[in-house]
Structure 1
Amino acid sequence: MPASTLQQHPLAVIGGRRLDPTTVTPPHRAASIRGEPLPTTRAHPPAVAIVGAHGGAGTSTLARWWAPAADCEQSWPGSPQTTQRVVVAARLCLPGLIACADRLREWHAGAAPEGVQVVGVVLSAARPGRVPAPVRRYRAVVEDLADHVWEIGWHDELIERELSELAEFSPFDPVPQRRARLTEAVPLDVHHVGSELIDVLACTTKNLIDQHDSEK
């Protein structure tokens, strides 16, 4: 069924668009589930889990770049003891977008663990240069299935850096200089997406609080 024909479920949304599960066919292969709580490796528990739609989606790099994030590899975060808010990560190529759409349909169909909330998608460049037209067209399918779709460009310096060398983004960090080394600051697009992600997470938290207050 084309994504554009899917309908929004009137009761299934808390801070994000959730489609009526009866209108969505889940993929044949479901993602694995991480039963353990997400690790707290920084000063605060993670605020969002980065879930890879496929191998090589860049989850470890994104989780390193964004201090409020945790790498959940290719598994849904199944433990309610830590955050179950999710950003799905994929490469900006046709296989990556198809895998991403599968994970999003899985969530919309209600096949992901209870409590999981997909807040957005991050597409990382698969190569330098222009994105081919077929890839751009299929990107629209992903846009129909997610509230927020962000892009991260190609960064050559990643080839020669270990994860532990990369600088981190934290909320309220100043905008980095355009040509800063990756050991000194995150790239401009990573900072921009990180700032928007923090705003989205703040919105979902407020909506959860408002819903809780209305149910008292």
Structure 2
Amino acid sequence: MAQARPAAPVAPQPTAPVAPAPRKAAARPKAAAAPARAAGGRRPAPAADAEPGWGRPKKPRPVRGKSRDDVGWVKAHGGSGATSMVEAFGGVDVGARWPDPARGEPRRVVLVGRTSARGLQSVSQALGALKDGNAPQGLELLGVVLVADAPGRLPLSLLRRIRVLRSVARVHRVPWIPAWRTGGRPRSVPRQLATLSKLVGGELYGEGAVS
């Protein structure tokens, strides 16, 4: 009986190299979203209470009173109380800028602001523009009127700011008057308004009656 021959050795098959897995591309940071546009491709308008910066060139329409001697009430910021001053003493509401006497606008001006931190800062900026020459020539600053932004006493930090303002201008403080909040007239007029009436030379509410 013939013996079985041993099987021939099998040659090893070459193994194909395994390709490395493709790397994932690093995620690119998303670009900041562009501000939304209103209908028609226009950008949204700025906030309504935004005030133009002091010292920037402006060409507003002239604001004239009955005479060149009328007092111009200049608001240091929105909601300063300048409108209440005009209603109480008369004069011209100039807006948030210094008037130009060369254009027939009031030369005698009063700067009005609130006693809040933001209000006092705006008053300081307006006075700085006047001091630095960023205002028309021929202006006579009668004083600064600070209208109370809330009932009660002011914090010490705000009183210190007012003290600094007093060192550069004549400051008149007006207390909190609840009637002004609803658009009315005060039944009893504070003495501070009587003093202010003498300063601007106008009768209080056109009646001259001060209690």
TM-score grouping bracket, smaller chain normalisation: 0.5 to 0.7
Does residue 36 (structure 1) correspond to residue 62 (structure 2)? The answer is: yes
Question: How far 1:45 sits from its partner (Å)?
Answer: 5.8
| Aligned counterpart, 1:198 | 201
Change in Cα spacing, 1:161 to 1:37, as seen in structure 2 (3 Å) is closer
Structure 1 gap segments, 5+ residues each: 1-27, 167-179, 200-216
Displaced runs of 4 or more, over 6 A: none
**In the alignment, is the contact (CA less than 8 A) between 2:111 and 2:123 conserved in 1?**
yes
RMSD between aligned alpha carbons?
2.4
| Aligned counterpart, 2:159 | 136
Question: How far 1:34 sits from its partner (Å)?
Answer: 4.4
Aligned equivalent of 2:93, options 71, 80, 89: 71
Does residue 181 (structure 1) correspond to residue 187 (structure 2)? The answer is: yes
Question: How far 1:70 sits from its partner (Å)?
Answer: 1.3
Aligned equivalent of 2:76, options 49, 53, 56: 53
Structure 2 length normalisation: TM-score? 0.62
**In the alignment, is the contact (CA less than 8 A) between 1:123 and 1:150 conserved in 2?**
yes
Give the Cα–Cα distance (whole angstroms) in 2 for the partners of residues 95 and 79 of structure 1: 29
- Work out which structure has the larger RCO, using CA pairs closer than 8 Å and 6 or more positions apart in sequence: 1
Change in Cα spacing, 1:29 to 1:66, as seen in structure 2 (3 Å) is closer
Which one-letter code corresponds to 1:195 in the other structure? K
SS at structure 1 position matched to 2:201: helix
Change in Cα spacing, 1:97 to 1:46, as seen in structure 2 (3 Å) is same
Question: How far 1:143 sits from its partner (Å)?
Answer: 1.1
Question: How far 1:39 sits from its partner (Å)?
Answer: 3.6
Question: How far 1:79 sits from its partner (Å)?
Answer: 3.9
* Larger of the two Rg values belongs to structure: 2
Does residue 151 (structure 1) correspond to residue 177 (structure 2)? The answer is: no
Give the structure with the larger helix fraction: 1
Question: How far 1:94 sits from its partner (Å)?
Answer: 1.5
Change in Cα spacing, 1:60 to 1:73, as seen in structure 2 (3 Å) is same
SS at structure 1 position matched to 2:134: coil
Which one-letter code corresponds to 2:196 in the other structure? V
